[in-house]
Amino acid sequence: MLKAYKDMNTEELQKLYEQVLAEYDEAKAKGLSLDISRGKPGADQLDFSMALLDVMHSEMDMITEDGTDTRNYGVFDGIPEAKRLMGGMMGSRPDQTIVFGSSSLNVMYDCVARAELFGIMGNTPWCKLDKVKFLCPVPGYDRHFGVTAQFGIEMINIPMDENGPDMDLVEEYVNNDPAVKGIWCVPVYSNPTGIVYSDEVVRRFAALKPAAPDFRIFWDNAYCIHHLYPDKEAKILNILEECEKAGNPDIVYQFCSTSKITFPGAGVAAMSASPANVADIKSRMQWQTIGYDKVNQLRHVRFFNNIEGLEEHMRRHADIIRPKFEVVLNTLDKELGELDIATWTKPMGGYFVSFDSEEGCAKAIVAKCAEAGLTMTGAGAAFPYGVDPKDSNIRIAPTMPSLEDITEAIHLFTVCVKLVTLEKMLGRLNG
Amino acid sequence: MLKAYKDMNTEELQKLYEQVLAEYDEAKAKGLSLDISRGKPGADQLDFSMALLDVMHSEMDMITEDGTDTRNYGVFDGIPEAKRLMGGMMGSRPDQTIVFGSSSLNVMYDCVARAELFGIMGNTPWCKLDKVKFLCPVPGYDRHFGVTAQFGIEMINIPMDENGPDMDLVEEYVNNDPAVKGIWCVPVYSNPTGIVYSDEVVRRFAALKPAAPDFRIFWDNAYCIHHLYPDKEAKILNILEECEKAGNPDIVYQFCSTSKITFPGAGVAAMSASPANVADIKSRMQWQTIGYDKVNQLRHVRFFNNIEGLEEHMRRHADIIRPKFEVVLNTLDKELGELDIATWTKPMGGYFVSFDSEEGCAKAIVAKCAEAGLTMTGAGAAFPYGVDPKDSNIRIAPTMPSLEDITEAIHLFTVCVKLVTLEKMLGRLNG
């Protein structure tokens, strides 16, 4: 049984500090080079998709079910079978679905860019407005905030609990301020907290009464089938159906991709929305491109066949990454569990563990890690403008390194957490 | 020896009209369904690239020369070997080159969108200006004009001769009017005229002294290696080098793609520009996407190896499409050559023949073709706003149909040209 730091006197803390410092110096002397900063699949996960390359070969026809030659120009909104496959992930009908190229981030960026340039469904282009605001549940996905930051959109932090964003606050902003045009959501296994939105949260989203007619929920369903435990798969309400039921069919843009299913950056991205939104988007998209990569769309359909094929494939991924999550969570538990100096999430899916240290320690911990050869996501990265008001949140991404490296990395991380916390308690932490 | 229509009296014209009308009615009765409207490769051309699908398979490594796993996230500006391959097409160095996804139209659209939203190299975003103008050499590529039209950019027609755009007029506009921010150019085998810009024209472009610091030449080198005759391959001056020499390194954005080399819509697109432009563009792009499809980039490099591989491949394309162009040109010559009622271009490469009827006849000819089951590109499509001031230009795209269909289509087309011209001369043409 370990003693909580707060129950120790200065002498005990000082003694412990010296022990932890020695441990840190020992680790540092190893000259490690470890990286748990980005949510990338490991090479062994990518290997599962190598057969994707074989399903389209030179002896094969390249024709869609409706007779389109995928090798030639045309069909800018996706081939029918790809709409069904990606719609299966998102719970959308083909008339609600557009299939794009390889990057869902690019699809989201383009949705914001189109709203800025041309406006949404006949409303004023955002670039003509004095002020545009987005709500940002925090901690969240740094690249979401990067998009809105680039467009000069004011970002407002929204706290999250285990059920999703603080919906009282969301309603307060959305239903009253016409400058609030959007909110970034990762409803399943949220990046980085792993939170799954509750039915009540989804229903309250669907029932919003936005002051702005061009307010949209940016529903980034990036991890919708990225479960860690086959017997505990998160299932959320279908946002498109809930919005329809609530008389708000146009309020949401939903996104997904196969980036963390097949090959990141060489997969297929898609979005879904009401037919009115789809028509609005297509009316602009028709000048942007003649069409996205239909060969790769067909390749993915032939590899997976349908949503069941996707889900089966993801269970193989889970078998690889589950032990990595478990070593992270077990080590945090063992090393820090009784010290009362940090909290962290225990996700059932997705790509991250979200860690909260004592206030004012996150930057120092990440710096200590870097000094010893361990790259963490930058402290504050999960917040708009890169500013974590409490300087306590750190994102842990366990998927990419080997199990061995993860084990070493997370142990070193706990040493840095202890060291910085002790420095703080002993008044030695430099701001 | 045929007699020119203008040398006929009314009685002769009337008699001829009845003959041509009978011929037209006969053709119409066949219930044809022909299409020479779009610049698409034929299926036999696409077949040449089927081995592209085999060069990446499950037993192969997916690693670039610098050790990047193309299957994972990262490298948003293109893998090094793809920069070399695409740079080989454009005559650009790697530090001048960015490699994207499959659509160069999308790359051009994004360049305009970025200028509208963020401005070019620190200049005012175009969306904040009262007026932005683009010069449009005509006839030109309809989708270029579609992009600028969508952004509300005013388009100004610039006449072309066999050497390229009227450079006196280009200099007049660009060097004096700060609202002129760009010009659309297809410098090699121009769409649709097949014109190749002369050395003098390229040098005058490079030596422009724009009134606007953010003026850019949009140099769409879509057909740079799309020669029809191996012994008469067009070679233009390197625009990047000429601009550097003229002290204007930043004045040009160059674009190209493999769309009409491998699979349209599933190829690789690229752009090149000065390192300062590249840095400016990448500073924005980094928020747009994590990266384009590197697997497909590597696939193309492994298929072609280098620019020589690309050129060899294009000679096989030429062997297929040259007879199609020749049947078009020979038929036009035989049927219309001595009638003095039309002119047309004799391209040495590219995808189009540009045809000019008597003034005020183009729309009626295209309509007559449609009535008899032959789809042509819409009259006026090659002009900004779809308006051909003389209503005389028609674009002919001979590549997609079979040689047999092309032969039938172009003959029918000449019948329609004669019919409409005679109707006009006999005062029977409805406006």
Considering only the beta carbons, identify the residue of B40, B50, B294 that sits closest to A265. B294
Kindly determine whether residue A259 and residue B73, on different chains, have CB atoms separated by under 8 Å: yes
Q: Is residue B56 part of a domain?
A: no
Residue A274 has pLDDT above 70, yes or no: yes
- Structural domain total, chain B: 2
Instruction: For residue B51, report the phi and psi dihedrals to the nearest 5 degrees.
Output: -65, -15
**Chain B touched by A254 (CB under 8 Å):** no
End of a domain among B267, B286, B305?
Answer: B305
For the record, the structure tokens of A384 come out as 């708009």
Residue A225, pLDDT score: 97
Residues B152 and B284 in one domain: yes
Cα–Cα dist B99/A342, whole Å: 44
Considering only the beta carbons, identify the residue of B51, B149, B292 that sits closest to A102. B292
Kindly determine whether residue A57 and residue B53, on different chains, have CB atoms separated by under 8 Å: yes
Chain B residues within 8 A of A146 when measuring between CB atoms: 286-287
**Chain B touched by A289 (CB under 8 Å):** yes
Residues A326 and A210 in one domain: no
pLDDT in tens, B127-173: 999 999 999 999 999 999 999 999 999 999 999 999 999 999 999 99
Q: Is residue A143 part of a domain?
A: yes
Residues spanned by the domain of B170 = 62-305
For the record, the structure tokens of A133 come out as 């605001």
ipTM computed for the complex: 0.96
**Chain B touched by A147 (CB under 8 Å):** yes
Kindly determine whether residue B289 and residue A105, on different chains, have CB atoms separated by under 8 Å: yes
For the record, the structure tokens of A116 come out as 């800025």
Residue A213 identity (one-letter amino acid): P
Residues A267 and A401 in one domain: no
pLDDT in tens, A201-216: 999 999 999 999 999 9
pLDDT confidence tier of residue A430, bands split at 50, 70 and 90: low
Residues 6+ apart with CB under 8 A from B60: A53
Q: Residue B169 CB: number of other CB atoms within 10 A?
A: 15
Residues B201 and B160 in one domain: yes
Cα–Cα dist A402/A383, whole Å: 28
If you average pLDDT over every residue of chain A, what do you get?
96
Residues B389 and B245 in one domain: no
State how far residue A132 is from chain B, nearest Cα, in angstroms.
14
Residues 6+ apart with CB under 8 A from B269: B99, B100, B101, B102, B103, B104, B106, B107, B255, B256, B257, B258, B259
pLDDT in tens, B290-315: 999 999 999 999 999 999 999 999 99
Contact A293, B266 (CB under 8 A): yes
Contact B184, B134 (CB under 8 A): yes
Cα–Cα dist A259/B11, whole Å: 72
Q: Is residue B53 part of a domain?
A: no
Cα–Cα dist A411/A422, whole Å: 17
**Chain A touched by B302 (CB under 8 Å):** no
Contact A296, A102 (CB under 8 A): yes
Q: Testing the interface with B: which of A68, A109, A263, A286 to mutate, by most B Cβ within 10 A?
A: A263
Chain A residues within 8 A of B281 when measuring between CB atoms: none
If you average pLDDT over every residue of chain B, what do you get?
96
| Degrees, nearest 5: CA angle B54-B84-B311 | 65
CB burial string A412-430: b at 16+ within 10 A, e below: bbbbbbbbbbbbbbeeebe
**Chain B touched by A255 (CB under 8 Å):** no
Instruction: For residue A356, report the phi and psi dihedrals to the nearest 5 degrees.
Output: -120, 120
3-state secondary structure of B32: coil
Residues B316 and B183 in one domain: no
Q: Kindly state the average pLDDT of the residues A278-294.
A: 95
Beta bridge mates, B98: B271
Cα–Cα dist B370/B394, whole Å: 13
Cα–Cα dist A128/A181, whole Å: 13
Cα–Cα dist A145/A184, whole Å: 8
Closest by CA to B75, choosing from A54, A251, A102, A303, is A102
Q: Is residue B188 part of a domain?
A: yes
**Chain A touched by B69 (CB under 8 Å):** yes
| pTM for the structure as a whole | 0.96
Cα–Cα dist B37/B399, whole Å: 10
**Chain A touched by B289 (CB under 8 Å):** yes
Cα–Cα dist A256/A145, whole Å: 17
**Chain B touched by A55 (CB under 8 Å):** no
For the record, the structure tokens of A409 come out as 């990395």
Chain A residues within 8 A of B49 when measuring between CB atoms: 71
Kindly determine whether residue B105 and residue A58, on different chains, have CB atoms separated by under 8 Å: no
**Chain B touched by A399 (CB under 8 Å):** no
**Chain A touched by B266 (CB under 8 Å):** yes
Q: Is residue B54 part of a domain?
A: no
**Chain A touched by B73 (CB under 8 Å):** yes
Kindly determine whether residue B296 and residue A292, on different chains, have CB atoms separated by under 8 Å: no
**Chain B touched by A288 (CB under 8 Å):** yes
End of a domain among A250, A285, A305?
Answer: A305
DSSP conformation class of B399 = S
Kindly determine whether residue A266 and residue B293, on different chains, have CB atoms separated by under 8 Å: yes
Tokens 């080098």: give the residue: B241
State how far residue A425 is from chain B, nearest Cα, in angstroms.
39
Residue B70 has pLDDT above 90, yes or no: yes
Residue A237 has pLDDT above 70, yes or no: yes
Residue B91 parent element (H or E): none
pLDDT confidence tier of residue A431, bands split at 50, 70 and 90: low
For the record, the structure tokens of B347 come out as 């391209």
Residue B175, pLDDT score: 98
Measured CA to CA in angstroms, residue B351 lies from B187, B228, B343, B348 at distances of 14, 9, 18, 10
Closest by CA to A210, choosing from A134, A317, A319, is A134
Contact A83, A97 (CB under 8 A): yes
Find the CATH number of the domain harbouring A105: 3.40.640.10
Give the nearest chain A residue to B59 (CA atoms): A50
**Chain A touched by B38 (CB under 8 Å):** yes
Peptide bond into B125 cis (omega under 30): no
Find the CATH number of the domain harbouring B13: 3.90.1150.10
Residue B186, pLDDT score: 98
**Chain B touched by A306 (CB under 8 Å):** no
Q: Testing the interface with A: which of B73, B75, B117 to mutate, by most A Cβ within 10 A?
A: B73
Q: Is residue A52 part of a domain?
A: no
Tokens 């991380």: give the residue: A413
Kindly determine whether residue A113 and residue B118, on different chains, have CB atoms separated by under 8 Å: no
Residues A188 and A168 in one domain: yes
Residues A212 and A150 in one domain: yes
Residue B74 parent element (H or E): none
**Chain B touched by A257 (CB under 8 Å):** no
3-state secondary structure of B179: coil
Residues 6+ apart with CB under 8 A from B332: B342, B344, B353, B355, B410, B414
Tokens 């610091």: give the residue: B213
3-state percent breakdown (helix, strand, coil) of chain A, nearest 5: 45, 15, 45
Q: What is the CA radius of gyration of chain A?
A: 23
Give the nearest chain A residue to B58 (CA atoms): A50
Chain A residues within 8 A of B109 when measuring between CB atoms: 287-289
Closest by CA to A181, choosing from A136, A246, A245, is A136
Residue A307 has pLDDT above 70, yes or no: yes
> What percent of chain B has a predicted confidence (pLDDT) above 90?
97
Give the nearest chain A residue to B292 (CA atoms): A265
Residues B220 and B337 in one domain: no
DSSP conformation class of A382 = T
Chain B residues within 8 A of A291 when measuring between CB atoms: 103, 265
pLDDT in tens, A339-380: 999 999 999 999 999 999 999 999 999 999 999 999 999 999
Give the nearest chain A residue to B109 (CA atoms): A288
Kindly determine whether residue A266 and residue B296, on different chains, have CB atoms separated by under 8 Å: yes
Q: Tell the burial category of B323 from Cβ atoms under 10 Å away from its Cβ (0-12, 13-18, 19+).
A: middle
> What percent of chain A has a predicted confidence (pLDDT) above 70?
99
For the record, the structure tokens of A344 come out as 């962290």
Contact A223, A188 (CB under 8 A): yes
State how far residue A289 is from chain B, nearest Cα, in angstroms.
5
Residue B126 has pLDDT above 70, yes or no: yes
**Chain A touched by B129 (CB under 8 Å):** no
End-to-end CA distance of chain A: 32
Residues B224 and B276 in one domain: yes
Maximum distance among all alpha carbons in chain B? Answer: 78
Closest by CA to A182, choosing from A242, A257, A132, is A132
Q: Residue A367 CB: number of other CB atoms within 10 A?
A: 15
Q: Is residue B127 part of a domain?
A: yes
Residue B431 has pLDDT above 80, yes or no: no
**Chain B touched by A290 (CB under 8 Å):** yes
**Chain B touched by A58 (CB under 8 Å):** yes
Identify the sign of the CA torsion A301, A302, A303, A307: positive
Kindly determine whether residue A69 and residue B43, on different chains, have CB atoms separated by under 8 Å: yes
Cα–Cα dist A425/A417, whole Å: 12
Cα–Cα dist B347/B190, whole Å: 9
Give the nearest chain A residue to B149 (CA atoms): A287
Residue B430, pLDDT score: 65
Residues B319 and B268 in one domain: no
pLDDT confidence tier of residue B429, bands split at 50, 70 and 90: confident
Q: Is residue A431 part of a domain?
A: no
State how far residue A55 is from chain B, nearest Cα, in angstroms.
9
State how far residue B147 is from chain A, nearest Cα, in angstroms.
6
Q: Kindly state the average pLDDT of the residues A321-328.
A: 97
Kindly determine whether residue B69 and residue A57, on different chains, have CB atoms separated by under 8 Å: no
Q: Testing the interface with A: which of B49, B50, B52, B53 to mutate, by most A Cβ within 10 A?
A: B53
pLDDT in tens, A6-27: 999 999 999 999 999 999 999 9
Closest by CA to A412, choosing from A43, A41, A29, A44, is A29
pLDDT in tens, B248-270: 999 999 999 999 999 998 999 99
Residues A79 and A211 in one domain: yes
Q: Tell the burial category of A89 from Cβ atoms under 10 Å away from its Cβ (0-12, 13-18, 19+).
A: buried
Kindly determine whether residue B265 and residue A296, on different chains, have CB atoms separated by under 8 Å: no
**Chain A touched by B257 (CB under 8 Å):** no
For the record, the structure tokens of B79 come out as 């893998």
pLDDT in tens, B307-364: 999 999 999 999 999 999 999 999 999 999 999 999 999 999 999 999 999 999 999 9
End of a domain among A284, A305, A326?
Answer: A305
In total, the C-beta contacts within 8 angstroms joining chain A to chain B are 165
**Chain B touched by A283 (CB under 8 Å):** no
Q: Testing the interface with B: which of A35, A118, A289, A377 to mutate, by most B Cβ within 10 A?
A: A289
Scanning B374-393 for CB atoms below 8 A from A yields: none
Kindly determine whether residue A290 and residue B72, on different chains, have CB atoms separated by under 8 Å: no
